[in-house]
Structure 1
Amino acid sequence: MTGDDDPAAEPLRALARELVDIAVTIQDAAAHATAALTDAALLRAAPNAPSAARPAYRALLRATTNGRGLGYAFTGGRLATAAAKAGAMLGAESLAVRVLATSLRLRVAAVALTHPELTGDPMLVRLIDAAAADRDVEAVRALRALVKDRGAVRALSQLAPVFGEVLALRALLDENPLNDATAWLIATGRGFATADPITGMSNRAIAVLDTGEGAARRIELTAAESARLCTRGSLLGFLANIGTIGTTGRALVQSVEGPDGVIRHVLQAPGMRMGRPDGDSPQDLLGAFSSAVLASSPYSRALAEAVADYGPPPGAELALVGHSAGGAAIMNLAQDAGFCARHTVTHAVAVGSPVDFKRPADPRTWVASVTNRHDIIPTLDGQGAGTCFDLHPGWYVVDYSDSTHLFPHCHSIERYLANLTDDLPEAREHIEQRLAAFRGRVVRSQAYLLFDRPPDPVGFPFLAVPTRPVGGPGGNVELPIRCRDGDALTAYFAVRPAAAAELLEGTGLGPAVRVAGRALLAVHAAWNRRTSAGGYAELHVGVVVPGPSRRSSRPAVRPDLLRAAELRRSGTFLVGSAVDTVAVRALGSRLWGGETYLTPLELRLDGRSAHVTAGQILTLRGRLGPGLPVNDPGLVGYTGAAGAVLRSCVRARGRARLHAAPSLRLLVEPRSAHPLAGRLRELALDGARPLLCLSSTTRQTLRDAAVPVPRA
């Protein structure tokens, strides 16, 4: 591992910097020539002195279009910009672009001295040469061959040290005029890459999708997480804390009693949460992107809210430590003049973050940036290992390489922590020394859950309903039972009509709903994680019926099954129910009627597969297959009691998926004497596969007492 370049690389970088200055000077000359060529006053005066104007305009035109002069060098103004873009689409180049491309090639050569694999690997050489020579088709073929041979992750990791330079070369030399400005910014080091260097799509057009004023709410860590938090302040301790809370949408603020007895505070911000963009958390992909591109983002604003809630005294010293997107977010805080007016931001440490073009509002803020050269994320601002610019001479910059070249492993906080612990002792000690005032006993820790915008109160407005107490074995329970978070699976099976008719005899609920001549039976399992009655699981088995006073099972009934429960007349005649808590079992006769069994229940549902286990009753598991998004319809159940029909209703809020081709299989526990297991065998469901399934995760529900159905 090394943090130092080959000494021979510095002359190449110095020459690359000089060529950048030359290219900028040429571009300025082209701008002056274009301005003179298109000056309206001169154009109006030209007819008055044609003998003098004609040679002058001919010389200007030759200078801005001749390959031996400035090349095709129109720049500045609407007309000139349009002409320049048209020329770029036709493959015309300016002298400034050619000089700048040479600078980028020198930067690649400088990096290759430290990373000989860039010139020793034929496949990488083929790709870099094709990009540098403006051979787009060959570059695409080379990239495709590299990915096919080594996979996308390994290919990207190997290219990482010169990733920005290769993209800038391609953008400078291709025929797409939309990415020229971005290529110029990367090559000259004059600013953040404002657009995708391949397509030219504006980064801000994507970043503005990440909206919200930012919010933070206190949250308690688990006992295991709290035990792993550092008890004394240090760089390694703060980074380990970031690894402990993980990319879970949380941040941490701690107070440390320094060696001088002064209480100082440390904000610790993790990186991006993996997966799809999350409309609630600022730590998602959009949040990471906007934190890097914009000066303020929902992530940084949420962090500011966390600090405000934590309540450090005005002007108290505050250190900011962040990894990946968290590093970009804390740098946004450091460059927020309002935030720095309220707090004395003494240190900002960004690890694996794209922060090259962020500047602290307070010049006294000490900044450290630690980046692995094979980590793609820090290069997203356009500057990587190949940069020839000293963009921030006052910062402490650690740009190193180690044997772990694979991304995203080299980007993980655990890898950075290991590098600083074992491989970068000088850098670690230097940063620790600068953080000496924060090295002491941790006297307070508070975790925060971050949001794009202030969240509604838990369950509001769906769960904000009147309640009433009812007696239970462990004391009063409030009805309706309000579930803030749960999963549910309903599997529909085909059974013999005669068997279903026998179960429905005398209920007045009409014939069972049929599909292709077979009666429909539902097995419903739910895991109610957080409810007003505590967490519990439930299982219900029943025949699907059109509802009271209906004597038809025609197909028109079937769409009714997907209506909201409170509006639905069709439902399930329950022939057996089971729960896994004593308290809810005692309420079974009140909630849905009929006999309720007490048995261990488990439901695991991840959107692609399901696993239901019910004690000595059944196991239902397998893949769910593709699903059609629908609203969670809840559950309607019917039972017979003392000559009356009771209707129970579970109102649900959330999204569900309708799976038309599930590959689940129901297995009845062999040799089980449980009554519900016997009922399933009588219905010939042992080994059966469902016709379709309805799955729902992160749902909210309201379950009230069953009510008698009025007689017609």
Structure 2
Amino acid sequence: MTGKGDPAAESLRAAARELVDIATTIQDASGHATAALTDGALLRALPRAASAARLAYRALLRATTSGAGLGYALTGGRAATLAAKAGAVLGAESLAVRVLATSLRLRISAVVSGHPELAGDPMVTRLVDAAAADRDLEALRALRALVKDRGAVRALSRLAPVLGEVLALRALLDENPLNDTTAWLIATGKGYASADPITGVSNKIIAVLDVGEGAARPTELPAAESARLCARGSLLGFLGNISALGTGGRVLIQSVEGPDGVIRHVLQAPGMRVGHPDGDSPQDLFGAFSSAVLNSSPYSRALAKAVADYGVPHGAELALVGHSAGGAAIMNLAQDAEFCARHTVTHVVAVGSPVDFKQPADPRTWVASVTNQHDIVPTLDGQGAGNCFDLHPDWYVVDYADPTHLFPICHSIDRYRANLAHDLPGEREHIDARLTPYRGAVVRSQAYLLFDRPPWRPDFPFLTVPTRVAPGPDGPVDLPIRTRDGAALTAYFAVRPEAVRDLLDVTGPAVRVGGRVLVAVHAARNRDTSTADHHELHLGILVPGPPHDLAGLARPLRRTDLLGVADLVRRVDVRCSGSFLVGSAVDAAGVQSLAATLWGGETYLTGLELRVSPRSVRLAADQVFSLRGRLGAAVPLSDPGFVGYAREGDTTLRSSVRARGRARLHPAPVLRLAVEPHSSHPLAERLRDLGLDGARPLLCLTSTARQSLRDAAVPVPPA
């Protein structure tokens, strides 16, 4: 399973290591020669020097620029660097590059020796041979043929064991001078791939986009996920926890009582979160990239915040277990000297992670790295299955190949866990033996949701307002009522003026369109509120302002133009128009008792349901009516809130709901209102009197997600 125990492969890797040493020696010699050639004092003294000295100088020049000597091996200094890059563009090579390229070819051969499926695949062989021979056009054709035949995913999966070496070889031999440094880093094993080996674009350009001090907030896991967490510590148990967490931006910390009775702690970190490449979570694509190529990232800083919030005591023993980007992040945490001064990091287990060039700050920390040779992610730092260096002789490295060659399946935490459970029993037992202090009963578990930056509270700043205590029928009530999660629907109907005149005893001018009066059916769903969660329903006649007229039908309804309709979508603090309430309903008894304070008028207690989506709506009131259908096209706007008017004796009350969120105005909804047949509910009778049974609205205003503030109704000063 390991793929690195084959004697022939090990002989090839040993030869490759020797060639790396030779190439490095040649490169150093070239640097000294270049320094001698560009020495200012030597150049000034050369015209006066003896002829033998000038001959030696010319010989040195030929040695550093001739293919028969060191090749085009100028290096060091600004002028020599520019000359070397110009030579690379023209295709000039140095002896050091040729030796290093031979080393990479030997490594490819070593991998092929351990992977018979590569040697037996003519399409892969064609691509590798073309890349090794510096035939760009042929390599491109071979790659296109491989992708066309297998698909991109299968092609990358098949190439994964030799991908790093093939890319480094291309970077060494092509005419792009920008990727030469990366090729040397990969080929010599002296550092992570600092740039893209194809284009030469620096990796840090992407990594620096991932910014933030990191933050962690405790979160409760659903019951189904909590049930999957391990009850006793073990390698497979911790990896199973990572599987249960998924890639949703969460991590887990557990406390385990070891065999010796000591409480120790385990931090478990999953891999990259699927979704937007640069979201609020440090587990996004940019976060995964920065965790791999930088020594500190928002992910590792967020992990430190989680450990601090969990309350791990100073000096307590801590094990870190991570998968993919989580493995890179925990290694960054382990190499943080300040963190290791606060806590004793005893073990690090990185699974499927690019961690070859990371080193714990505490030399006593035991590190295990588990990688599948067909997994592309661990090769992101430039070191893959063809690596011929023993970068960490003090680590426990499990580098294997299993029959599942398809990426990303072979990268999944469940596949790694299955390999360790069934295919690598010896390796699993060895890691478990080292984790013996953590193999006991789990006494505490806490999940954390991670962020790049500390998130704003969901109620800030809109819901951060002064509050006061108002008396209520069931005790004091905090006003205004604050709703953190809400939705709303307002449907506008056109009714005959006679229906309104027959219904109302007191009214003023109403908003008309086309000779008809506009009537609004407004419903809201209020969740996570400062009082009881509830639905509310209001039926009202649209009026351009407060109705002060007490003469009833003595004054006929006045016509208004469409400006009255446009006023309906203005903010409530500058809006005069509103709904003159002729009936309201709620589904919470505590809110019904407050109705006289909040909006006035007659309010009924009945079951309500409101479901709003961008495409459809369903509103139902038990034994009253239902309104459902498709919403159609929409115009986006800010949620304007709601304004209602009611009469209480000789006083007009104005109530309002201030809202924050996005709303949609639907000019041609396909909805129908249906009153419950044979219902004697007062609201059902009122809807029939208005002629709304079977009616379709002219337009609708919807909001699928909003926050709102509802204060007490206030008297309107007389005109």
TM-score (norm 2): 0.83
1:572–1:637 contact (8 Å) kept in structure 2 = yes
User: What does 1:192-591 align with in structure 2 at a 5 Å threshold?
Assistant: 192-277=192-277, 280-457=280-457, 459-469=459-469, 476-484=476-484, 486=485, 488=487, 511=511, 528-536=526-534, 553=561, 564-568=571-575, 581-584=588-591, 587=594, 590-591=597-598
Structure 1 unaligned runs (5+)? none
Amino acid at match of 2:642: V
Cα gap change, 1:302 to 1:442, in 2 (>3 Å): same
2:473–2:594 contact (8 Å) kept in structure 1 = no
SS at match of 1:228: coil
Aligned mates of 1:681, 1:375 — CA distance in 2: 64
Aligned to 1:685: 696
For structure 1, which segment, 129-138 or 367-376, has the greater mean C-alpha deviation from structure 2 after superposition? 129-138
Aligned to 2:45: 45
Aligned to 2:170: 170
2:104 aligned with 1:98: no
Cα gap change, 1:521 to 1:387, in 2 (>3 Å): farther
Residue-by-residue CA offset, 1:312-356 (whole Å, 9 max, x unaligned): 333222111112222111111211122212221111111121111
Amino acid at match of 2:375: D
For structure 1, which segment, 287-296 or 450-459, has the greater mean C-alpha deviation from structure 2 after superposition? 450-459
Amino acid at match of 1:533: T
Identity of aligned residues (%): 67
Aligned to 2:552: none
Cα gap change, 1:468 to 1:33, in 2 (>3 Å): same
Cα gap change, 1:352 to 1:638, in 2 (>3 Å): same
Residue-by-residue CA offset, 1:98-122 (whole Å, 9 max, x unaligned): 3323322332332223333334344
Aligned mates of 2:542, 2:61 — CA distance in 1: 83
2:641 aligned with 1:635: yes
SS at match of 2:390: coil
User: What does 1:38-117 align with in structure 2 at a 5 Å threshold?
Assistant: 38-49=38-49, 51-52=51-52, 54-117=54-117
2:612 aligned with 1:601: no
Structure 2 unaligned runs (5+)? 548-557
What displacement does 1:507 show? 6.0
2:626 aligned with 1:617: yes
Aligned mates of 1:518, 1:193 — CA distance in 2: 73
What displacement does 1:429 show? 0.6
Aligned mates of 2:67, 2:517 — CA distance in 1: 82
1:510–1:552 contact (8 Å) kept in structure 2 = yes
Aligned mates of 2:15, 2:437 — CA distance in 1: 41
Aligned to 2:555: none
2:4–2:10 contact (8 Å) kept in structure 1 = no
Aligned mates of 1:590, 1:431 — CA distance in 2: 67
Aligned to 2:554: none
Cα gap change, 1:172 to 1:251, in 2 (>3 Å): same
2:715 aligned with 1:704: no
Aligned mates of 1:430, 1:473 — CA distance in 2: 68
Aligned mates of 1:143, 1:84 — CA distance in 2: 30
What displacement does 1:54 show? 4.3
Aligned mates of 1:289, 1:316 — CA distance in 2: 30
Residue-by-residue CA offset, 1:281-333 (whole Å, 9 max, x unaligned): 32222222222221112221222222223333332221111122221111112
Aligned mates of 2:267, 2:130 — CA distance in 1: 45
What displacement does 1:365 show? 0.7
Alignment: residue pair count:
695
Amino acid at match of 1:100: L
SS at match of 1:75: coil
Residue-by-residue CA offset, 1:581-605 (whole Å, 9 max, x unaligned): 4444555565456656744535475
2:581–2:644 contact (8 Å) kept in structure 1 = yes
Aligned mates of 1:50, 1:541 — CA distance in 2: 109
1:320–1:345 contact (8 Å) kept in structure 2 = yes
1:67–1:95 contact (8 Å) kept in structure 2 = yes
Amino acid at match of 2:164: G
Cα gap change, 1:229 to 1:92, in 2 (>3 Å): same
What displacement does 1:382 show? 1.3
What displacement does 1:463 show? 1.9
SS at match of 2:319: strand
1:611–1:621 contact (8 Å) kept in structure 2 = yes
What displacement does 1:441 show? 1.7
Cα gap change, 1:557 to 1:144, in 2 (>3 Å): farther
Amino acid at match of 2:339: F
Amino acid at match of 1:58: R
Amino acid at match of 1:26: I
Aligned mates of 2:496, 2:168 — CA distance in 1: 72
1:590–1:705 contact (8 Å) kept in structure 2 = yes
Amino acid at match of 1:369: S
Aligned mates of 1:149, 1:574 — CA distance in 2: 69
Aligned mates of 1:113, 1:446 — CA distance in 2: 46
2:370–2:397 contact (8 Å) kept in structure 1 = yes
Aligned mates of 1:215, 1:316 — CA distance in 2: 22
2:675–2:693 contact (8 Å) kept in structure 1 = no
TM-score (norm 1): 0.84
Aligned mates of 2:572, 2:131 — CA distance in 1: 60
1:492–1:520 contact (8 Å) kept in structure 2 = no
